[in-house]
Amino acid sequence: MLQSFKLAIKSIWGNKMRSFLTMLGIIIGVAAVIILVSLVNGYMAGVMKSYSDMGANQIQVNVTNLTTRAVSSADVYQFYEENSELFENVSPSVTISGKVRNGTTSLKYTTVQGCSEQYMAIKGFKLQKGRSIMYSDVISRQNICVIGAYVAKKLYGSAENAVGQKIKIGENTYDIVGAFEARNKDYMYSGGEDDFVWMPYTVAVKVAKNANIGDYIFTVKEISKADEGVTTIGNFLQEAIKDKELYRVTTMSAMLDSMKKQMATISNMLGGIAGISLLVAGVGVMNIMLVSVTERTREIGIRKSLGANRGAIMQQFIIEAAVTSSLGGIIGILLGCSATAFVGKAVGISATPALSAVLVSFGVSVGIGLFFGFMPASRAAGLNPIDALRSD
């Protein structure tokens, strides 16, 4: 074995350019697998963090109220009070339409939502100026609102300027009592998470002219009890409405799990596409090894005449193919790991080399050397020693 390994190194070193060209496909394939999988994983980690920041402890509830079977906000709040040891916050969610504007300046994609005084805690926003919605605003149906950082900047120049001003939504005017800090000061955009207006849900219901609220958001006190929260809410709604088709209860954690599976599938697909180049490289290894067998026919004949058996000849050429592909794999790993951070920075993704991609791509490169080296090795081992010695 050791002697075969030494012969393989000697053969590779003696044909540097040919060996490098043989390895090139493997180098590119391994590097491509590492870079693509690492970038996808980096992007996925960023998306997961973003959604986690939105609240992994949140439970979304959607109810279709009918004339004969309906759940009111009073029913939901009573249920919340009865299960206060499980749930931390609750808020109705009423979305209304209407152009948001100040004077002649208007915004097209701003989310206008009615909510309770607990909504700020649910969403995890921080006030920059003023105050948030209070319980007294809700019960007295005050025409007030709080706005996101994007709205404050675009319509008033800053949060400081916005608080105390009036804002028009559709045909109605509201007093701005608070403005929130930006989630990401360097990346605010129209329709983004900082482009919103919140008002008391009792006011939004009046504007929407729909007394039946269909959407609610709960938060559990412990993320580990999210499934218990879903079950508890589901039992409450089933008892009240008696039709599973009329309500839906989902958790952010369930959405994250689903997204993780989808992203993992995409990662595997991209890795597989990049891995095709490794198969192409394997064909190159086989072709070069066949050429090597042809060039060394006389050497094989001499070894066989001196007593080398079929197994020894096969071992020599299989090890040579495996060493060639392994060296290509190592170079590819070094190149892929070095390029991952650079490419990630260029496309705005925080990416680090994925250990799984490194191990799998290297294992595949070694496997390719063994698999595609078998045919040339078998051909070399099957040569007749007398015919081989006559070869020029």
| Closest among 257, 281, 261 to 269, alpha carbons compared | 261
Whole-angstrom distance, CA of residue 194 vs CA of residue 110: 9
Report how many helices (DSSP H) and strands (DSSP E) the chain contains, helices first: 14, 13
Position 134 confidence tier, pLDDT thresholds 50, 70, 90: very high
Domain that holds residue 197: 94-212
Domain assignment present for residue 207? The answer is yes
Could you read off the pLDDT of 269-309 as tens digits, one per residue?
Answer: 776 776 677 777 777 777 776 666 666 666 666 666 666 67
Q: Are residues 282 and 199 in the same domain?
A: no
Whole-angstrom distance, CA of residue 245 vs CA of residue 16: 69
Domain assignment present for residue 85? The answer is no
Domains in the chain, number? 2
Could you read off the pLDDT of 118-131 as tens digits, one per residue?
Answer: 999 998 899 999 99
Q: Which residue has the tokens 């991609």?
A: 357
Q: Are residues 43 and 109 in the same domain?
A: no
Higher pLDDT, 6 or 105: 105
Among candidate residues 212, 245, 278, the one where a domain is terminated: 212
Q: Are residues 208 and 268 in the same domain?
A: no
The rounded Cα 117 to chain-centroid distance in angstroms is 33
Among candidate residues 187, 212, 237, the one where a domain is terminated: 212
The one-character DSSP state at 72 is: -
Q: Are residues 279 and 362 in the same domain?
A: yes
When the pLDDT of each residue in the chain is averaged and rounded to a whole number, the result is: 82
Q: Which residue has the tokens 């219901």?
A: 205
Q: Are residues 273 and 350 in the same domain?
A: yes
The one-character DSSP state at 245 is: G
Higher pLDDT, 277 or 33: 33
Whole-angstrom distance, CA of residue 303 vs CA of residue 142: 97
Q: Are residues 263 and 352 in the same domain?
A: yes
Whole-angstrom distance, CA of residue 261 vs CA of residue 250: 17
The percentage of the chain sitting over the pLDDT mark of 70, rounded to a whole number, equals 79
| Closest among 362, 302, 292 to 326, alpha carbons compared | 362
Q: Are residues 384 and 307 in the same domain?
A: yes
Domain assignment present for residue 64? The answer is no
Q: Are residues 163 and 279 in the same domain?
A: no
Q: Are residues 207 and 101 in the same domain?
A: yes
pLDDT over threshold 60, residue 53 = no
Ramachandran area for residue 307 (φ above 0: left; ψ -120 to 50: alpha; else beta): left
Could you read off the pLDDT of 313-343 as tens digits, one per residue?
Answer: 677 767 777 777 788 888 888 988 888 888 8
Whole-angstrom distance, CA of residue 60 vs CA of residue 218: 7
Domain assignment present for residue 59? The answer is no
CA distances from 368 to 173, 277, 283, 317, 328 (A): 70, 11, 9, 14, 11
Q: Are residues 111 and 205 in the same domain?
A: yes
155-159-164-168 Cα dihedral, nearest 10 degrees: 30
For residue 292, the model assigns a pLDDT of 67
Contact assessment for residue 299 and residue 7, using Cβ atoms and an 8 Å cutoff: no
| Closest among 367, 381, 377, 380 to 322, alpha carbons compared | 367
pLDDT over threshold 80, residue 254 = no
Among candidate residues 177, 212, 247, the one where a domain is terminated: 212
Position 63 confidence tier, pLDDT thresholds 50, 70, 90: very high
Q: Are residues 268 and 383 in the same domain?
A: yes
| Closest among 168, 147, 167 to 159, alpha carbons compared | 147
pTM of this structure? 0.57
Domain assignment present for residue 86? The answer is no
What is the CB neighbour count within 10 angstroms for residue 40?
A: 22
Q: Are residues 265 and 381 in the same domain?
A: yes
Classify 221 as helix, strand or coil.
Answer: coil
Domain assignment present for residue 199? The answer is yes
Position 3 confidence tier, pLDDT thresholds 50, 70, 90: low
Domain assignment present for residue 378? The answer is yes
Position 382 confidence tier, pLDDT thresholds 50, 70, 90: low
Domain assignment present for residue 39? The answer is yes
